[in-house]
Chains A and B, each alone.
Chain A
Amino acid sequence: MIVLKDVLALLDAEVLTPGTDPEAAFQRVFASDLMSDVLTSAQPGSLLLTGLANSHVVSTCHVADVAGVVFVQGKRPSPAVVEEARAKGLPLVSTKMPMFEACARIAGLAGEGGHGRG
Protein backbone atom coordinates (compact mmCIF):
# COMPACT_ATOMS: atom_id res chain seq x y z
CA MET A 1 0.00 0.00 0.00
CA ILE A 2 1.08 3.55 -0.75
CA VAL A 3 0.21 6.00 2.02
CA LEU A 4 -0.67 9.60 1.18
CA LYS A 5 1.67 11.17 3.77
CA ASP A 6 4.62 9.35 2.16
CA VAL A 7 3.55 10.62 -1.27
CA LEU A 8 3.32 14.18 0.08
CA ALA A 9 6.84 13.95 1.54
CA LEU A 10 8.42 12.32 -1.52
CA LEU A 11 6.86 14.69 -4.05
CA ASP A 12 6.98 17.80 -1.86
CA ALA A 13 3.26 17.95 -2.61
CA GLU A 14 0.48 20.10 -1.23
CA VAL A 15 -2.99 18.84 -0.25
CA LEU A 16 -5.72 20.76 -2.10
CA THR A 17 -8.83 19.18 -0.58
CA PRO A 18 -9.56 20.26 3.01
CA GLY A 19 -10.06 17.47 5.54
CA THR A 20 -7.98 14.91 3.64
CA ASP A 21 -6.65 12.09 5.81
CA PRO A 22 -2.84 11.83 5.37
CA GLU A 23 -3.12 8.14 6.29
CA ALA A 24 -5.27 7.45 3.20
CA ALA A 25 -3.79 4.39 1.47
CA PHE A 26 -3.80 3.28 -2.16
CA GLN A 27 -3.40 -0.22 -3.47
CA ARG A 28 -2.03 0.78 -6.86
CA VAL A 29 -0.76 3.70 -8.90
CA PHE A 30 -1.76 4.74 -12.40
CA ALA A 31 -0.36 7.63 -14.46
CA SER A 32 -2.07 9.20 -17.46
CA ASP A 33 -3.32 12.45 -18.93
CA LEU A 34 -5.94 10.53 -20.87
CA MET A 35 -9.17 9.90 -18.99
CA SER A 36 -10.10 7.30 -21.61
CA ASP A 37 -7.12 5.25 -20.39
CA VAL A 38 -8.13 5.71 -16.75
CA LEU A 39 -11.59 4.36 -17.61
CA THR A 40 -10.19 1.32 -19.40
CA SER A 41 -7.16 0.41 -17.32
CA ALA A 42 -6.95 1.96 -13.83
CA GLN A 43 -7.71 -0.49 -11.04
CA PRO A 44 -10.21 0.43 -8.30
CA GLY A 45 -8.48 2.00 -5.31
CA SER A 46 -5.66 3.46 -7.42
CA LEU A 47 -3.82 6.74 -6.94
CA LEU A 48 -3.83 8.66 -10.24
CA LEU A 49 -0.95 10.89 -11.37
CA THR A 50 -2.04 13.28 -14.10
CA GLY A 51 -1.23 16.56 -15.81
CA LEU A 52 -4.86 17.19 -16.66
CA ALA A 53 -6.66 19.47 -14.20
CA ASN A 54 -10.31 19.83 -15.24
CA SER A 55 -13.62 18.62 -13.80
CA HIS A 56 -13.54 15.51 -16.02
CA VAL A 57 -10.70 14.16 -13.88
CA VAL A 58 -12.95 14.22 -10.80
CA SER A 59 -15.92 12.65 -12.62
CA THR A 60 -13.69 9.98 -14.15
CA CYS A 61 -12.13 9.09 -10.78
CA HIS A 62 -15.55 8.94 -9.13
CA VAL A 63 -16.91 6.63 -11.82
CA ALA A 64 -13.84 4.37 -11.93
CA ASP A 65 -13.31 4.16 -8.12
CA VAL A 66 -9.93 5.89 -8.34
CA ALA A 67 -9.12 6.83 -4.75
CA GLY A 68 -6.88 9.91 -5.05
CA VAL A 69 -5.22 12.28 -7.53
CA VAL A 70 -1.76 13.85 -7.76
CA PHE A 71 -1.59 16.76 -10.21
CA VAL A 72 1.96 16.98 -11.55
CA GLN A 73 3.95 19.83 -13.11
CA GLY A 74 2.34 22.39 -10.75
CA LYS A 75 -1.13 21.91 -12.25
CA ARG A 76 -4.01 23.00 -10.04
CA PRO A 77 -7.70 22.58 -10.78
CA SER A 78 -10.12 25.47 -10.19
CA PRO A 79 -11.68 25.96 -6.73
CA ALA A 80 -15.00 24.63 -8.11
CA VAL A 81 -13.29 21.39 -9.16
CA VAL A 82 -11.57 21.09 -5.77
CA GLU A 83 -14.92 21.54 -4.02
CA GLU A 84 -16.50 18.89 -6.26
CA ALA A 85 -13.71 16.47 -5.31
CA ARG A 86 -14.05 17.27 -1.61
CA ALA A 87 -17.81 16.63 -1.81
CA LYS A 88 -17.13 13.25 -3.46
CA GLY A 89 -14.47 12.35 -0.87
CA LEU A 90 -11.67 12.33 -3.46
CA PRO A 91 -8.30 13.60 -2.11
CA LEU A 92 -6.44 15.93 -4.48
CA VAL A 93 -2.79 16.92 -4.14
CA SER A 94 -0.48 18.99 -6.31
CA THR A 95 3.28 18.76 -6.91
CA LYS A 96 5.60 20.91 -8.99
CA MET A 97 7.49 17.81 -10.09
CA PRO A 98 7.17 16.69 -13.71
CA MET A 99 5.31 13.45 -14.42
CA PHE A 100 8.41 11.31 -14.98
CA GLU A 101 10.15 12.32 -11.76
CA ALA A 102 6.94 11.95 -9.71
CA CYS A 103 6.38 8.46 -11.16
CA ALA A 104 10.01 7.45 -10.57
CA ARG A 105 9.86 8.50 -6.90
CA ILE A 106 6.57 6.70 -6.29
CA ALA A 107 7.88 3.63 -8.08
CA GLY A 108 10.79 3.69 -5.62
CA LEU A 109 8.33 3.84 -2.72
CA ALA A 110 6.40 0.92 -4.18
CA GLY A 111 9.65 -1.01 -4.53
CA GLU A 112 10.45 -0.61 -0.83
CA GLY A 113 7.88 -3.15 0.24
CA GLY A 114 4.80 -1.46 -1.15
CA HIS A 115 2.70 -3.05 -3.87
CA GLY A 116 1.84 0.07 -5.75
CA ARG A 117 2.56 -1.01 -9.30
CA GLY A 118 -0.05 -1.57 -11.93
Chain B
Amino acid sequence: MGEAESVYRKEFPVKGGDFANAGAAACEIKELLKDLGIDAASVRRAAIVAYESEMNVIMYAREARMDLTVSLGKVRLVIDDRGPGIPDVELALTEGYSTATAEMRELGFGAGMGLPNIKKNADVFAIDSEVGRGTRLDITIRTNGHVNP
Protein backbone atom coordinates (compact mmCIF):
# COMPACT_ATOMS: atom_id res chain seq x y z
CA MET B 1 0.00 0.00 0.00
CA GLY B 2 1.60 3.29 -1.08
CA GLU B 3 1.92 6.48 0.91
CA ALA B 4 -0.50 8.08 -1.58
CA GLU B 5 -3.26 6.12 0.13
CA SER B 6 -2.47 7.56 3.53
CA VAL B 7 -5.46 9.01 5.29
CA TYR B 8 -3.58 10.94 7.94
CA ARG B 9 -0.08 12.36 8.39
CA LYS B 10 1.45 14.40 11.15
CA GLU B 11 4.93 15.36 12.24
CA PHE B 12 5.99 15.66 15.88
CA PRO B 13 9.24 17.37 16.91
CA VAL B 14 10.95 15.89 20.00
CA LYS B 15 13.73 17.70 21.88
CA GLY B 16 16.55 15.90 23.62
CA GLY B 17 16.62 16.45 27.40
CA ASP B 18 13.03 17.71 27.48
CA PHE B 19 11.90 15.46 30.35
CA ALA B 20 9.11 17.90 31.31
CA ASN B 21 7.24 17.16 28.07
CA ALA B 22 8.08 13.46 27.89
CA GLY B 23 5.12 11.50 26.60
CA ALA B 24 3.34 14.49 25.05
CA ALA B 25 3.81 13.26 21.48
CA ALA B 26 2.92 9.65 22.33
CA CYS B 27 -0.23 10.69 24.22
CA GLU B 28 -1.31 12.91 21.29
CA ILE B 29 -0.65 10.09 18.82
CA LYS B 30 -2.74 7.75 20.94
CA GLU B 31 -5.71 10.15 20.96
CA LEU B 32 -5.40 10.74 17.19
CA LEU B 33 -5.39 7.02 16.44
CA LYS B 34 -8.35 6.43 18.75
CA ASP B 35 -10.27 9.23 17.02
CA LEU B 36 -9.47 7.64 13.65
CA GLY B 37 -11.31 4.53 14.87
CA ILE B 38 -8.32 2.20 14.88
CA ASP B 39 -8.70 -0.92 17.05
CA ALA B 40 -7.62 -0.58 20.69
CA ALA B 41 -4.87 -3.22 20.58
CA SER B 42 -3.17 -1.56 17.59
CA VAL B 43 -3.55 1.89 19.14
CA ARG B 44 -1.87 0.60 22.30
CA ARG B 45 1.03 -0.94 20.35
CA ALA B 46 1.56 2.27 18.34
CA ALA B 47 1.41 4.41 21.49
CA ILE B 48 3.98 2.20 23.24
CA VAL B 49 6.30 2.38 20.21
CA ALA B 50 5.89 6.18 20.08
CA TYR B 51 6.48 6.56 23.83
CA GLU B 52 9.56 4.34 24.01
CA SER B 53 11.00 6.14 20.96
CA GLU B 54 10.19 9.54 22.41
CA MET B 55 11.92 8.62 25.70
CA ASN B 56 14.99 7.37 23.83
CA VAL B 57 15.28 10.71 22.01
CA ILE B 58 14.78 12.68 25.24
CA MET B 59 17.36 10.56 27.09
CA TYR B 60 20.03 10.21 24.44
CA ALA B 61 19.62 12.43 21.34
CA ARG B 62 19.67 16.17 20.63
CA GLU B 63 16.46 16.27 18.65
CA ALA B 64 14.26 14.19 16.42
CA ARG B 65 11.32 14.26 14.11
CA MET B 66 8.62 11.68 14.61
CA ASP B 67 6.47 11.15 11.52
CA LEU B 68 3.10 9.45 11.87
CA THR B 69 1.40 8.12 8.76
CA VAL B 70 -1.92 6.32 9.00
CA SER B 71 -3.32 4.42 6.05
CA LEU B 72 -5.85 1.64 5.64
CA GLY B 73 -4.54 -1.36 7.55
CA LYS B 74 -1.39 0.18 8.95
CA VAL B 75 0.21 2.82 11.15
CA ARG B 76 3.75 3.85 10.30
CA LEU B 77 6.07 5.71 12.67
CA VAL B 78 9.44 7.02 11.52
CA ILE B 79 11.68 8.48 14.20
CA ASP B 80 14.75 10.20 12.79
CA ASP B 81 17.09 11.67 15.40
CA ARG B 82 20.22 13.74 15.43
CA GLY B 83 22.30 12.31 18.21
CA PRO B 84 25.25 10.12 19.14
CA GLY B 85 24.08 7.06 17.20
CA ILE B 86 24.35 3.49 18.48
CA PRO B 87 27.78 1.83 18.12
CA ASP B 88 26.43 -1.74 18.43
CA VAL B 89 22.78 -2.02 17.36
CA GLU B 90 22.59 -5.74 18.09
CA LEU B 91 23.75 -5.15 21.67
CA ALA B 92 21.27 -2.27 22.08
CA LEU B 93 18.48 -4.64 21.03
CA THR B 94 19.40 -7.04 23.85
CA GLU B 95 16.88 -6.97 26.69
CA GLY B 96 18.44 -5.41 29.79
CA TYR B 97 21.41 -3.81 28.04
CA SER B 98 21.43 -0.14 29.00
CA THR B 99 23.70 2.90 28.98
CA ALA B 100 21.23 4.97 31.05
CA THR B 101 22.41 7.31 33.79
CA ALA B 102 21.27 7.12 37.42
CA GLU B 103 19.07 10.17 36.78
CA MET B 104 17.22 8.40 33.97
CA ARG B 105 16.70 5.33 36.13
CA GLU B 106 15.29 7.45 38.96
CA LEU B 107 12.59 8.59 36.53
CA GLY B 108 11.61 4.96 36.01
CA PHE B 109 13.35 4.43 32.68
CA GLY B 110 16.62 3.17 31.32
CA ALA B 111 16.09 -0.51 32.10
CA GLY B 112 17.40 -1.55 28.70
CA MET B 113 13.94 -2.52 27.48
CA GLY B 114 13.16 0.39 25.15
CA LEU B 115 14.42 -0.83 21.79
CA PRO B 116 13.50 -4.49 22.44
CA ASN B 117 9.98 -3.36 23.42
CA ILE B 118 9.67 -1.22 20.28
CA LYS B 119 10.64 -4.26 18.22
CA LYS B 120 8.19 -6.48 20.14
CA ASN B 121 5.27 -4.14 19.40
CA ALA B 122 6.17 -3.63 15.72
CA ASP B 123 5.08 -5.76 12.76
CA VAL B 124 7.86 -4.30 10.66
CA PHE B 125 10.96 -2.95 12.43
CA ALA B 126 13.95 -1.31 10.77
CA ILE B 127 16.80 0.50 12.49
CA ASP B 128 19.63 2.41 10.90
CA SER B 129 22.20 4.09 13.10
CA GLU B 130 25.43 5.92 12.46
CA VAL B 131 27.77 6.94 15.26
CA GLY B 132 28.08 10.73 15.39
CA ARG B 133 25.04 11.28 13.16
CA GLY B 134 21.96 9.67 14.67
CA THR B 135 19.45 6.87 14.57
CA ARG B 136 16.44 6.25 12.35
CA LEU B 137 13.65 3.86 13.30
CA ASP B 138 11.03 2.85 10.75
CA ILE B 139 8.13 1.00 12.36
CA THR B 140 4.92 -0.35 10.90
CA ILE B 141 1.99 -1.64 12.93
CA ARG B 142 -0.73 -3.49 11.10
CA THR B 143 -4.25 -2.57 12.17
CA ASN B 144 -7.67 -4.06 11.61
CA GLY B 145 -7.98 -1.88 8.51
CA HIS B 146 -10.83 0.26 9.70
CA VAL B 147 -10.25 4.03 9.66
CA ASN B 148 -12.90 6.67 10.28
CA PRO B 149 -13.26 9.15 7.42
**How many whole Å from A77's CB to the nearest CB in chain B?**
12
Q: Measured between alpha carbons, how far is A6 from B52 in the docked complex, in Å?
A: 33
Q: Is the CB of B120 within 8 A of A40?
A: yes
Specify which chain A residues have a CB less than 8 angstroms from the CB of B114 in the assembled complex.
36
Interface residue? B129 (CB, 8 A): no
Query: Size of chain A's interface in residues, with CB distance under 8 A?
Result: 21
Interface residue? A67 (CB, 8 A): no
Q: Measured between alpha carbons, how far is A36 from B27 in the docked complex, in Å?
A: 16
Q: Measured between alpha carbons, how far is A58 from B21 in the docked complex, in Å?
A: 12
Report the tally of A-B residue pairs with Cβ distances under 8 A: 69
Specify which chain A residues have a CB less than 8 angstroms from the CB of B40 in the assembled complex.
44, 65
Interface residue? B97 (CB, 8 A): no
Chain B, interface residues (CB within 8 Å), range? 20 to 34
Interface residue? A52 (CB, 8 A): yes
Q: Pick the residue among B27, B109, B112, B113 that contacts A63 (CB under 8 A).
A: B27
Q: Is the CB of B22 within 8 A of A37?
A: no
Q: Which of B10-18, B43-51, B63-71, B86-94 contacts A (4 or more CB under 8 A)?
A: B43-51
Q: Measured between alpha carbons, how far is A59 from B58 in the docked complex, in Å?
A: 14
Interface residue? A54 (CB, 8 A): yes
Q: Measured between alpha carbons, how far is A39 from B118 in the docked complex, in Å?
A: 10
Q: Is the interface of B mostly helix, strand, loop or mixed?
A: helix
Q: Is the CB of A59 within 8 A of B27?
A: yes
Interface residue? B134 (CB, 8 A): no
Q: Measured between alpha carbons, how far is A35 from B114 in the docked complex, in Å?
A: 10
- Chain B residues 20-36 with CB under 8 Å of chain A are 20, 22-24, 26-27, 30
Q: Is the CB of A63 within 8 A of B22?
A: no
Q: Given A35-B108, A57-B108 in contact, is the A40-B113 Cβ separation under 8 Å?
A: yes
Q: Measured between alpha carbons, how far is A59 from B29 in the docked complex, in Å?
A: 12
**How many whole Å from B41's CB to the nearest CB in chain A?**
8
Q: Is the CB of A63 within 8 A of B117?
A: no
Interface residues of A (CB under 8 A from B): 33-37, 39-40, 44, 52, 54-60, 62-65, 88
22 A-B pairs whose Cβ atoms sit less than 8 Å apart in the complex:
A35-B107, A36-B111, A36-B113, A36-B114, A37-B111, A37-B113, A39-B51, A39-B52, A39-B117, A54-B108, A55-B22, A55-B23, A56-B22, A56-B109, A60-B51, A62-B47, A63-B23, A63-B26, A63-B30, A63-B47, A63-B48, A64-B44
